[in-house]
Amino acid sequence: MNLSSPSSSSPSPHPLAPYGWDAGWESEFAPYAGQGCLPGRVVRVDRGQCDVVTADGVLRADTAFVTPDDPLRVVCTGDWVAVEPDGTPRYVRTCLPRRTAFVRSTSSKRSEGQILAANVDHAVVAVSLAVELDLARIERFLALAWESGAQPLVVLTKADLVPDPVTLAYLVRDVEAAAPGVPVLSVSAEQGEGLDVLAAVVGGGTAVLLGQSGAGKSTLANALLGEDVMDVRAIRDVDGKGRHTTTTRNLLALPGGGVLIDTPGLRGVGLWDAGNGVGQVFAEIQELADGCRFHDCAHESEPGCAVLAAIDSGELPERRLESYRKLMRENQRIVAKTDARLRAEIRKEWKRRGAVGRAAMEAKRGGGPR
């Protein structure tokens, strides 16, 4: 019996498969294939142009045709696009609908959102163990990660700087308490510890590296890539921070499978319509709130508040509630700036609480209603 080898009958993989191309993207691209366009994935964006990896190699393309007024719809690293087959310059004709998008608010007074990466499966939040842990900042990153639609992952870098295993275990436990439902890995790129686990997690899709400058993202990226692709500079001994070694967002194929988007260090990570993400970060508070006497309980001084009861019993750390309140207020302000109906509701709620507060003060003074 003559048996042919499996490779002789199976179709060869698509040239873009290493970058995440699949049947879903092929279906989305079908209308543009009929127009002669090439499919490709954006690996870098720079001043109105972008580098796009295609079956013909990396092409330089102009984004003028897809530069809308909405900053959330501009071409971004990680986008799948349709590119003109020829021309000088070539143009990106359109972006395919995004599956996920990591968005933060800008520092501008216009309260615009800024998209950092598109079509991401894993949002890797890098946190340096060279400095004291900032759990509130980790919670902020995780809120944006959950809201993006990606699966968050916290990576504690520079674990070799914490040689005591007991101390390291306590640090991991503290982060796990601030990140319910999120895997937490301790990694040392210098010693190669934990990299195999991380590579296995991110090897099945697209991962974006996020974190402050000095968190060790570029070192981590080089370790995963197996070569020194990203520039690395020493951090300051004073505060553990460093200069921005990565100045653009770059998409790179990993040797073990999957792709990685490295991002510049983020000084600010403002929320952008991330109410659901905040809720997932503080899932235990959301669950406790279901037991409150009032459905609109603000968890401040209301009778029958299950959240405050959990604080009193020690079940819920007060720090978690304060962080939750801060992020919810910030997110509400951002949303209200673009939602007139919500602004009216907030003003109405302020007036209601003010009236309740005044009535309580009158009762306390013994004045009673008049």
CB atoms within 10 A of CB 361: 10
DSSP assignment of 11-65: PPPPTTGGGT--HHHHHHHHHHHTTTPEEEEEEEEETTEEEEEETTEEEEEE-GG
3-state helix, strand, coil in the chain (%, to 5): 40, 20, 40
Smallest CA-to-CA distance from 210 within 259, 173, 174, 262 is with 262
Smallest CA-to-CA distance from 207 within 282, 145, 144, 157 is with 145
Residue at token pair 């401040």: 300
Over its length of 370 residues, how does the chain's per-residue pLDDT go in tens digits?
343 334 445 567 889 999 999 999 999 999 999 999 999 999 999 878 999 999 989 999 998 887 666 777 889 999 999 999 887 778 999 999 999 988 887 654 555 678 889 999 999 999 999 999 999 999 999 998 998 899 999 999 999 999 999 999 999 999 999 999 999 999 998 888 999 999 999 888 999 999 887 888 888 999 998 876 554 544 444 444 444 444 567 899 999 889 999 887 666 667 777 788 899 999 999 999 999 998 888 888 888 999 999 999 999 999 999 999 999 888 888 777 665 554 455 455 545 545 555 555 565 556 544 4
Return the exposure string of 142-162: e unless at least 16 CB atoms fall within 10 Å of the residue's CB, then b.
Answer: bbbbbbbbbbbbbbbbbbbeb
Which residues 6+ apart lie within 8 Å of 364 measured at CB? none
